[in-house]
Amino acid sequence: MVQKILFSATVDYHFKAFHLPYLKWFKEQGWDVHVAASGEIELPYVDQKYNIPIQRSPIDKKNIQAYRQFKKIIDDNQYNIIHCHTPMGGALTRLAAIKARKHGAKVIYTAHGFHFCKGAPLMNWLMYYPVEKVLAHLTDSLITINEEDYHLAQRKLKAASIELVHGVGVDSEEFKPVPYKEKIALRKSYGYRPDDFLFIYPAEFNANKNQQFLIHAFNLVKNKMPNARLLLAGEGAGLDNCKKMAKQMEIQSKVDFLGFRRDMKQLLSISDVGVGSSLREGLPVNIMEAMACELPIIAVENRGHRELIDHDVNGWLISKDEVIEFSRKMQVLANNRELIEQLGKEGRRTIVGKYNVPKVLNQKKVIYQSYMKEEGVGEWAVR
């Protein structure tokens, strides 16, 4: 009988952006791969895809319908392994898989950064922690993606197994620095000059991503960096407020709001420095991709950034209250090409050595194969 795995998340773009290497690996092992999430994106390496009306809000009534659909899909397909992601996708899937676990299905949940963590608002602890504490009892393997979450889970949650995996991985062969001539040509194609100095931050515009902080920091030193520009890629509820802020500070001609992009590799290739202002991160792919492209990083300190950035080695970590210090670091790099190269090379070394896709895939194979063997599939060669 063909073995089956179900991958679930809140939205299907999550899989296109982060999980294709893992879907592909299961297909190479001869498994049927199913995906369940909200959305109609076509995904490779998938035998069956379900569009489930999952909503991010835990109080949205549509999630009742989503739970029922999950339960029917799981009961009908008799999966060997179920791997769920994102808070709502993970919660609904684990609830729907209670019966399946009793019949031998193994349930894996990857926490891409707990909403409750050191320094998180009390409301986050009141809302998310009790849910994860209960759902941990319905989880065979709880995967965390940073040291802080790993130790928190070990202390507070009672999953059958708790693992640390270094995120979803970055393709360091796709995201890599380009030769100088190619960089200049790419800049020209995007309308930038060779001597422009480009800071970049790709992220959804919301309160957590905190782009206002970057705009404020940039404004403080705009006159000391005449050729500098701030590139902000993404969409979201906070976009209009950020545009208004830039206009009020009269820097709208120096802050480029790029919208939703599918060309991040090229945008990172033309940039000089990666910046990050988020208040909470699990293990941010946007920062990892920038590091892989040899961009030094200036970022607000949080657990995810701490995991990646070695202060004074591949970038700088700045307190969320120190916008002046952040702006000073921006100015330092805008005037020191040698330091940019030094920090950038160390950043890429960090990614290649620990966070690239092959290394993360090998970590996940160990977890997957333990359940494959348990299910009687036999020895699976690590490829």
Whether residue 380 lies inside any domain: the answer is: no
Whether residue 262 lies inside any domain: the answer is: yes
Q: How far apart are CA 360 and CA 352, in angstroms?
A: 11
Q: What are φ and ψ of residue 223, in 5° steps?
A: -75, -20
| Strand 273-276 to 81-85 pairing | unpaired
Same domain, 109 and 153: yes
The secondary structure of 221-232, three-state, reads: CHHHCCCEEEEE
Q: Which of 212, 195, 302 is nearest to 257 (CA)?
A: 212
Tens of pLDDT, residues 322-359: 999 999 999 999 999 999 999 999 999 999 999 999 99
Same domain, 141 and 256: no
pLDDT at 10 > cutoff 60: yes
Domain CATH for 128: 3.40.50.2000
Same domain, 111 and 212: no
Tens of pLDDT, residues 228-281: 999 999 999 999 999 999 999 999 999 999 999 999 999 999 999 999 999 999
- Return the amino acid letter for 237: A
Tallying the residues shown for the chain, one arrives at: 383
Cβ atoms of 74 and 82 within 8 Å: the answer is: yes
Q: Count of domains in the chain?
A: 2
Same domain, 361 and 350: no
Tens of pLDDT, residues 92-134: 999 999 999 999 999 999 999 888 877 778 888 888 899 999 9
State residue 374's pLDDT score: 59
Q: How confident is the model at residue 383 (pLDDT cuts 50, 70, 90)?
A: very low
Whether residue 323 lies inside any domain: the answer is: yes
State residue 331's pLDDT score: 97
More confident residue, 312 or 382: 312
Same domain, 319 and 367: no
**Of the ranges 67-81, 266-280, 337-351, 360-374, which one carries the lowest mean pLDDT score?**
360-374
State residue 158's pLDDT score: 94
Same domain, 230 and 250: yes
Same domain, 127 and 235: no
Whether residue 382 lies inside any domain: the answer is: no
State residue 174's pLDDT score: 96
Give percent of the chain with pLDDT exceeding 90.
90
Same domain, 143 and 203: no
Tens of pLDDT, residues 234-244: 999 999 999 99
Whether residue 383 lies inside any domain: the answer is: no
pLDDT at 315 > cutoff 50: yes
- pTM of the entire predicted model: 0.91
Which residue range forms the structural domain that includes residue 72?
A: 4-169+357-374
Same domain, 54 and 136: yes
Give me 81's structure tokens.
């392994």
| Strand 81-85 to 4-11 pairing | parallel
State the DSSP string of 230-285.
EEEEB-STTHHHHHHHHHHTT-TTTEEEEES-S-HHHHHHH-SEEEE--S--SS-H
Q: How confident is the model at residue 379 (pLDDT cuts 50, 70, 90)?
A: very low
Same domain, 75 and 10: yes
State residue 267's pLDDT score: 98
Q: What is the mean pLDDT of residues 23-32?
A: 96
- CA count, 13 A, side-chain hemisphere, 350: 28
Q: Is 318 helix (H, G, I), strand (E, B) or coil?
A: strand
Q: What is the mean pLDDT of residues 71-87?
A: 96
- Return the amino acid letter for 186: L
Whether residue 61 lies inside any domain: the answer is: yes
Whether residue 379 lies inside any domain: the answer is: no
Q: Mean pLDDT, the chain, as a whole number?
A: 94
Whether residue 381 lies inside any domain: the answer is: no
Same domain, 195 and 344: yes
Q: How confident is the model at residue 382 (pLDDT cuts 50, 70, 90)?
A: very low
Same domain, 122 and 244: no
